[in-house]
Amino acid sequence: MRVRDAEPQDFDAVTELLELLGRAEVTDATRDRCREIYAAQISDPAVKHLVAENDDGEVVAFCSLHFRNRLNHATAQAWIPDLIVRESARRQGVARALLVEAERAALERNCWDLTLESGYQRTEAHMVYSNFGMRDAGKYFRKLLG
């Protein structure tokens, strides 16, 4: 298994993983715009998308890491809105390897915090995050618009 920065050719694998996570399906109508967003993000210095490949070179996991400035902090916060490992690659240390790389990148940028969002139903993933030293620090609310 190898963790690396996401590349343009990973778009299909990444969007498929995000769909498994419950994100919106990329359709023929949205594919071009989603590809543009992905391309912009992988070249944005405030974003670090990571993928994990298995020994056959197949992308089996994705971690989206964003560096965002918050009021009352002089340095950025490292925020992971999405982390997903394909079911066939779970329980092999893949999520932890992605978290280790995300933490390394956050420390390199002197971030004050590494935070991650995760749905209530992902109890198995929550154990990984707890074992990594993260704690449940709250919840978030959302309202779909449009």
Assess if residue 89 is contained within a domain: yes
Determine the structural domain holding residue 40 and report its residue range.
Answer: 2-131
Residue 71 has pLDDT above 80, yes or no: yes
Phi-psi group of 31: left, alpha or beta (phi > 0 → left; psi -120 to 50 → alpha; rest → beta):
alpha
Assess if residue 136 is contained within a domain: no
**CATH, residue 101:** 3.40.630.30
Residue range 102-134, pLDDT digits in tens: 999 999 999 999 999 887 778 788 888 889 899
Assess if residue 116 is contained within a domain: yes
Assess if residue 16 is contained within a domain: yes
Assess if residue 140 is contained within a domain: no
Task: Give the pLDDT score at 18.
Answer: 96
- Number of structural domains (the chain) is 1
Assess if residue 24 is contained within a domain: yes
Mean pLDDT of 28-53: 97
Confidence of residue 139 (pLDDT cuts 50, 70, 90): confident
Assess if residue 141 is contained within a domain: no
- Asked if 117 and 65 count as a contact pair (C-beta separation under 8 A), the reply is no
* Cα–Cα distance, 129 to 145 (Å, whole number): 30
* Cα–Cα distance, 110 to 108 (Å, whole number): 6
Name beta bridge partners: 63.
50, 83
Assess if residue 144 is contained within a domain: no
Task: Give the pLDDT score at 120.
Answer: 77
